[in-house]
């Protein structure tokens, strides 16, 4: 949720709370009842969309990190084995290809890890049997192969999550537009009718309409 939406959401909730606190002043006026009902429905929809938007990226981000952590762990083990073999065999090229430490791998981007995985897979085709002499098992080697085979699928999952989040963001912006339109064109004007008959309601509503954290004079003026 971006800061602008966060600030607007707080304002919408404050407005609804104030209006409901003074329900006795307007619940006998059908037109206001209808507008308040529309506002509450839109606000509930916005709240649901924001929750959905957050879960999309949070879930995929957590899954991606777990996947990368395991990939790096498996990769680091095999690269150490190949580095040790290359050192003993005086294979400088192979040694150079697998010199990255675990710390360095953890700082490596996902795209770069995919490249390193491809290189490692190619070298495993040639040097897998030698790794057995260094205590690395075929099970550990296969675990890396399995993880490496899922890299592109994971990247596609992230892309899909970004697309879904983009769609949710558009829906959220549209709901904000509808809420603002309802506030400015109707609810603000309805509440202004209580300026003389229920001034505390009017004053409290105006205070609730302020967008805390927004630069400038505040929110749209209540008519």
Q: 0.75 cut: is pTM over it?
A: no
pLDDT of residue 78: 97
Let me know: does 134 contact 85? Beta carbons within 8 Å.
yes
Q: How far apart are CA 181 and CA 187, in angstroms?
A: 9
Q: How far apart are CA 72 and CA 208, in angstroms?
A: 50
Each residue's pLDDT, cut to its tens digit, for the chain (223 residues) gives 577 888 999 999 999 999 999 999 999 999 999 999 999 999 999 999 888 877 776 667 777 888 899 999 999 999 999 999 999 999 999 999 999 999 999 999 988 999 999 999 999 999 999 999 999 999 999 999 999 988 888 777 777 777 888 888 899 999 999 999 999 999 999 999 999 999 999 999 999 998 755 544 444 455 5
Let me know: does 101 contact 122? Beta carbons within 8 Å.
no
30-52 CB burial, b ≥16 within 10 A, e <16: eebeebbeebeebbebbeebbee
Per this entry, what is the length of the chain? Answer: 223
C-alpha distance across the termini of the chain, in Å? 29
pLDDT of residue 180: 95
pLDDT of residue 178: 96
Let me know: does 166 contact 89? Beta carbons within 8 Å.
no
pLDDT of residue 185: 95
Q: How far apart are CA 149 and CA 71, in angstroms?
A: 10
Cα distances from 171 to residues 95, 120, 140, 164, in angstroms, run: 52, 43, 46, 11
């Amino acid at each position: 949720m971006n800061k602008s939406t966060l600030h607007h959401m707080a304002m919408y909730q404050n407005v609804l709370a104030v209006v409901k606190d003074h329900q006795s002043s307007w619940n006998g006026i059908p037109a206001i009842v209808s507008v308040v009902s529309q506002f509450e429905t839109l606000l509930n929809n916005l709240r649901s969309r924001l929750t959905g938007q957050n879960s999309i990226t949070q879930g995929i981000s957590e899954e991606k990190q777990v996947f990368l952590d395991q990939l790096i762990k498996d990769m680091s083990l095999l690269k150490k084995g190949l580095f040790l073999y290359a050192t003993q065999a005086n294979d400088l090229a192979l040694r150079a290809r697998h010199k990255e430490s675990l710390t360095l791998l953890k700082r490596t981007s996902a795209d770069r890890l995919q490249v390193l995985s491809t290189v490692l897979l190619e070298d495993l085709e040639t040097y897998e049997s030698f790794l057995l002499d260094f205590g690395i098992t075929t099970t550990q080697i296969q675990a890396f192969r399995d993880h490496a085979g899922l890299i592109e699928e994971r990247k596609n999952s992230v892309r899909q999550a970004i697309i879904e989040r983009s769609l949710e963001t558009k829906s959220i912006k549209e709901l904000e537009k509808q809420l603002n339109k309802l506030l400015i064109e109707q609810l603000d004007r309805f509440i202004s009718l209580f300026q003389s008959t229920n001034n505390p309601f009017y004053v409290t509503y105006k205070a609730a309409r302020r967008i805390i954290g927004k630069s400038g004079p505040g929110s749209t003026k209540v008519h």
